[in-house]
Amino acid sequence: MKNHLPLLLTFLTIACQSSAQNVVKPVIITDTVRHDTDDPAIWINPKDPAQSLVIGTDKDQDGGLYVFDLKGKIVREVHNLKRPDNVDVAYGLTLAGKPTDIAVTTERFTHKLRIFSLPDMKPVDNGGLEMFVGDTSNGFRDLMGIALYKNPAGVLYAMVGRKSGPTDGSYIGQYRLEDDGKGQVRATLVRKFGSYSGKKEIESIAVDNELGYVYYSDEGVGVRKYYADPEKGSQELALFAKTGFAEDHEGISIYKTGPKTGYILVSDQGANQFHIFKREGEANNPNEYKLVKIVKVAAQVSDGSDVTNVALGKQFPHGLFVVMSDDKTFHYYRWEDVMK
């Protein structure tokens, strides 16, 4: 009998080298946080995009927000937050008569949204805005996901998710954010909507402002799609990305190639990779999402992510993709490396 072991070993070596070559490497790995990275958001500096920032959560009972520059260095910190989970940014909310950019994070153990002005990270929330007041069921007020939506009229909303909650179609809380008359933010509940399987959790939420949709990951089930405008109703438009995931559906980010085109990236947490779908759906059905490609990344067990198509200096000429990694860091990727 012939010995095929050398041939087998050669084949495995080639396969491993090929697999390694297919893993997209970051150009920057950030400084480490104290406890546990979870979710990033990109703030684009309107005066100089090359001076933009990344805000990341440090998920712990004694957690905080870390602000990184485009070299991955920590430039600002906010501490003493009670398990901040996800974070998102919005531009131009009028506070005290001035347009103000804000970062909003969910503080799980206090059931509050925490809101900070950008880029100085000063609190503008009177100590926090309580969410899901009156929901007394166990865990129904423990916050997780957050995404901000500004409608064409300029009204700003927060889409807020929770660690567990009802399965009756009222899982997400949509709150209007506005000036309370004293230069601080107040939140008013507009509606509750959204199905939840009850299988695991819903953590990642993303909004497409231009197309007017909100997406969220029902872990172990798929990605759900709804209208972001409450006046358009609360019917589920799509449930996609249902197959091919190793474990949990996690971070969702949207890269725009035009007014109505681009890509939706969904983290396949257990496989250290992202499934990519067309932002516009299929030509005959905008609510049908076929897999375009799968991209493996060096980041490990990734929860949250964010992406922009804006050129951020010479290092990120086609945009920046930021991915959480479970070694207390965030990874910065060039968009052209992701889609090569």
User: Within 10 A of 134 (CB to CB), how many other CB atoms are there?
Assistant: 7
Q: Flag whether 12 is in a domain.
A: no
Residue span of the structural domain in which 199 resides:
26-338
pLDDT value of position 3: 54
Q: Flag whether 45 is in a domain.
A: yes
Q: Flag whether 5 is in a domain.
A: no
Q: Which residues contact 334 (CB under 8 A, 6 or more apart)?
A: 27, 315, 316, 317, 318, 319, 320, 321
Q: Which amino acid is at 115?
A: I
Looking at the structure of the chain, the number of domains it has is: 1
pLDDT value of position 269: 87
Q: Flag whether 10 is in a domain.
A: no
pLDDT value of position 1: 45
Q: Flag whether 260 is in a domain.
A: yes
pLDDT value of position 62: 95
Across 164-315, the runs of DSSP E, i.e. the strands, are: 172-179, 185-193, 202-208, 213-218, 222-227, 238-240, 249-256, 262-268, 273-278, 291-297, 305-308
Q: Flag whether 215 is in a domain.
A: yes
* Token output for 117: 């002005």
Q: What is the C-alpha end-to-end distance of the chain, expressed in Å?
A: 44
Q: Flag whether 13 is in a domain.
A: no
Rounded to 5 degrees, φ, ψ at 135 are -80, 105
pLDDT value of position 20: 46
pLDDT value of position 302: 86
Q: Which residues contact 322 (CB under 8 A, 6 or more apart)?
A: 40, 42, 54, 305, 306, 307, 330, 331, 332, 333
CATH number of the domain that residue 75 is part of: 2.120.10.30
User: Within 10 A of 21 (CB to CB), how many other CB atoms are there?
Assistant: 7
pLDDT value of position 51: 98
Nearest to 101 by CA among 79, 86, 116, 84: 116
Peptide bond into 6 cis (omega under 30): no
Provide the residue-wise pLDDT of the chain in tens; the chain has 340 residues: 445 544 444 444 434 433 445 999 999 999 999 999 999 999 999 999 999 999 999 999 999 999 999 999 999 999 999 999 999 999 999 999 999 999 999 999 999 999 999 999 999 999 999 999 988 776 789 999 999 999 999 999 999 999 888 999 999 999 999 999 999 999 999 999 999 999 988 889 999 999 999 999 999 999 999 999 999 999 999 999 999 998 888 899 999 999 999 999 999 988 999 999 999 999 999 999 999 999 999 999 988 999 999 999 999 999 999 999 999 999 999 999 999 8
Q: Flag whether 196 is in a domain.
A: yes
| pTM score of the predicted model | 0.93
pLDDT value of position 16: 42
